[in-house]
Amino acid sequence: MTPLRVLGLAVASVLGASAMAQSHFPAPPTPAGNPVTTPKALLGMALFWEEQMSSTNSVACGTCHQFSHGGVDPRAINQRHPGPDGIPNTADDILGARGVPVRDASGHYSGSTTFGLDPQVTRRKAPTVINAGYQPALFYDGRVANGEFRDPVTNQVVLTGPVALENLVAAPPINSTEMAHTGRTWTEVTNKIATARPLALASNIPTRLANFIGGATTYNQLFEQVYGVGATATPTRIIMAVATYLRTLNSDQSAFDQSIAGQGTLSAEAQRGMTVFNSRHGSAAACSQCHGDISNASHQFGPTPLQTTMYGQLPVPNSHNTGIRPIADDNGVGGITTNQTDMGRFRTPGLRNTSLHGTWFHTGGLTTMAQVVDFYDRGGDFHTNQATEIQPRNLTAQQKSDLVAFLDALTDPRVAAGQAPFDSPRLGSLNNAAPTRSGIGMTGTAGRTPQAVAHEPVVIGGQSATIAVQNVPANAPTFVVWDTVAVTQGYTYAGLQLYVGLYDVAVTYAGTATPSTGGAGFASFPFGVPSLRSLIGTNLYAQWLVFDQGAPLGVTTSDLNHIVVR
């Protein structure tokens, strides 16, 4: 058996044999030191959907890469980075992905000039993880590549070859916008994961994953299952498992795939749209010249239908400046190579499942497929350093709608329906795992009403979660009043608007408020819950009490946080 066949079989056992039957893709390139096996892919799947991978228990890889949206972030439409001008709701805003608030290792919030205590939004949209295993270079600027993979702690080379995925997986858990507190190390990531209860925050865990997790109460037990008796979580093992899972996310069963495999025919519209996709229009290049490549040759010499399999294997560099934004907004590849000709170039994405994305391009700035087609039809928007292949096309209305029909025919029904290998747990963030807020605070100095802030689910075990308060006077002393019962409709006690029950009450001092802007401030309070399973499901209520000399009573209170220990 050739190595490729062996690999194919390993993938087949992950996907289930029937899923492989129609596949016409070879398995993605895999480094010899990290072969695809079913248990390792399942461990990687658990870790990919694990919100405890973040410092805040609130962000998993899958939070920003959801299959319902083709492996990108469905929330992007509502999440703005203000862009280079720093001003929200202007043309240069980026519809990005929401990560974590700025937080230090102790769990205290630092406050961000752009996002305050809110989770930060990435400067680019999340591209898809589906078929990422075929890409020889990753990220929009291709800055993560094959070659060597080094253990992020020891810096020893542990793998060589097609290791772009391993190199990529190493980044988000220590990225202080996406998943990490400032300065987080892989040792910290690993220590947290080792003892975490697998998928403690998620629900609707797919059967194949639930069976793999079985009765395991810590990730270390799962690492033993995969890497042998006595094995524990290590940075390299975590990374290799997640990369292995990503190598099983291969989408090749769209209507287009069926048609080129002789297993179906495209609709008449999609068929016509494919012709539009594969044709030049005036001096504008065929879409497939950039998007259809599976070889250098097709990129140089244009497409044929079989070359438009669009599963990656893109020639390097297949990056172009489409003219979506002025180059000064984001240099793209030019930001890495510093070559003037690369300014504003971005990697050409594969187009499978693109119809599911909901927002398009690295800016997320186009929000319907019709807008994408119109963008190309008018030859892009910004022309400095723009690819010469992008020119006005003068497509007819019919050609445009046919093109959209063809792009729709690139959607794999398994991705759209969340079927294996594109099945996934439901994230805690979608199930209100984070504390919820209710009630209203009391207004004090300068009309300021303290607002409770609660992004972080509270999980049993040593790791801390943080609650915070904002919109209080700078430098004001702050306290948290805790109880296990609450009066959610509120009541007045000694002139204070209260919601905590004053039943099991405890008060903790949370320090003086850090100044933010205009005399306002914020405070945060990291706390942990012991590793006692009996605590799971415990209700905790917290309300902030703020010393505010300008308030009638000299004290104000915030709204209420309701925390359910998970």
**Contact flag: residue 292 with ligand HEC (CB under 6 A):** no
Nearer to ligand HEC, 223 or 547 (CB): 223
**Contact flag: residue 333 with ligand HEC (CB under 6 A):** no
Asked if 353 and 130 touch (Cβ cutoff 8 Å), the reply is yes
518, with CB counted inside 10 A (0-12, 13-18, 19+), is exposed
The residues with which 203 forms a beta bridge, in sequence order, are 426
Alpha-carbon dihedral 9, 12, 18, 19, rounded to 10 degrees: -140
**Contact flag: residue 285 with ligand HEC (CB under 6 A):** yes
Residues 344-383, interacting with ligand HEC (CB under 6 A): 346, 348-349, 351, 354, 357, 360-362, 372-373, 376
Nearer to ligand HEC, 324 or 459 (CB): 324
232 token code pair: 């524990």
- At residue 250, the 3 state secondary structure works out as coil
- At residue 487, the 3 state secondary structure works out as strand
Cβ at position 272, least distance to ligand HEC in Å: 14
User: How is 414-454 classified by DSSP, letter by letter?
Assistant: HHHHT-TTS--PBPGGGGT-S-EEES-----GGG---EEE-
* Backbone torsion region of residue 394, taken as left when φ is above 0, otherwise alpha when ψ lies between -120 and 50, otherwise beta: left
Nearer to ligand HEC, 287 or 415 (CB): 287
The sign one gets for the Cα dihedral 222, 223, 225, 231 is negative
Nearer to ligand HEC, 237 or 357 (CB): 357
**Contact flag: residue 251 with ligand HEC (CB under 6 A):** no
Asked if 456 and 466 touch (Cβ cutoff 8 Å), the reply is yes
# chain residues binding ligand HEC, by CB under 6 A: 51
Cβ at position 491, least distance to ligand HEC in Å: 40
212 token code pair: 């793999």
Nearer to ligand HEC, 237 or 448 (CB): 237
Contact pick of 163, 403, 460, 510 for ligand HEC (by CB under 6 A): 403
- What distance in Å separates the CA atoms of residue 266 and residue 260, rounded to the nearest whole number? 9
Cβ at position 234, least distance to ligand HEC in Å: 15
Q: Are strands 486-493 and 451-453 parallel, antiparallel or unpaired?
A: unpaired
Contact pick of 7, 46, 179, 240 for ligand HEC (by CB under 6 A): 179
Determine the interface stretch with ligand HEC among 63-71, 208-216, 300-308, 555-563 (rule: CB under 6 A).
63-71
- What distance in Å separates the CA atoms of residue 248 and residue 21, rounded to the nearest whole number? 15
Determine the interface stretch with ligand HEC among 132-140, 469-477, 514-522, 537-545 (rule: CB under 6 A).
132-140
Q: Which residues touch 484 (CB under 8 Å, ≥6 apart)?
A: 501, 503, 504, 538, 539, 540, 541
Closest by CA position to 119, among listed 51, 178, 49, 57: 178
Site string for ligand HEC, 134-173 (x = CB under 6 A): -x--xxx---------------------------xx--xx
Cβ at position 160, least distance to ligand HEC in Å: 19
**Contact flag: residue 290 with ligand HEC (CB under 6 A):** yes
Q: Provide the 8-state DSSP code for 358.
A: S
Cβ at position 164, least distance to ligand HEC in Å: 8
- What distance in Å separates the CA atoms of residue 17 and residue 492, rounded to the nearest whole number? 65
Nearer to ligand HEC, 172 or 450 (CB): 172
Cβ at position 242, least distance to ligand HEC in Å: 5
Contact pick of 76, 94, 209, 324 for ligand HEC (by CB under 6 A): 324
Cβ at position 59, least distance to ligand HEC in Å: 5
Residues in the chain: 566
Cβ at position 408, least distance to ligand HEC in Å: 11
- At residue 341, the 3 state secondary structure works out as helix
Asked if 109 and 468 touch (Cβ cutoff 8 Å), the reply is yes
Cβ at position 345, least distance to ligand HEC in Å: 7
Contact pick of 59, 213, 459, 513 for ligand HEC (by CB under 6 A): 59
Cβ at position 96, least distance to ligand HEC in Å: 6
- What distance in Å separates the CA atoms of residue 58 and residue 51, rounded to the nearest whole number? 5
Q: Which residues touch 93 (CB under 8 Å, ≥6 apart)?
A: 80, 81, 82, 83, 365
Residues 97-126, interacting with ligand HEC (CB under 6 A): 97, 99, 122, 124, 126
**Contact flag: residue 299 with ligand HEC (CB under 6 A):** no
Q: Are strands 461-473 and 144-145 parallel, antiparallel or unpaired?
A: unpaired
**Contact flag: residue 69 with ligand HEC (CB under 6 A):** no
Query: What phi and psi values does residue 124 have, to the nearest 5 degrees?
Result: -135, 160
166 token code pair: 């391993």
Q: List residues binding ligand HEC (CB under 6 A).
A: 48, 59, 61, 63-65, 97, 99, 122, 124, 126-127, 129, 132, 135, 138-140, 168-169, 172-173, 178-179, 242, 246, 285, 287, 289-291, 319-320, 322, 324, 346, 348-349, 351, 354, 357, 360-362, 372-373, 376, 387, 389-390, 403
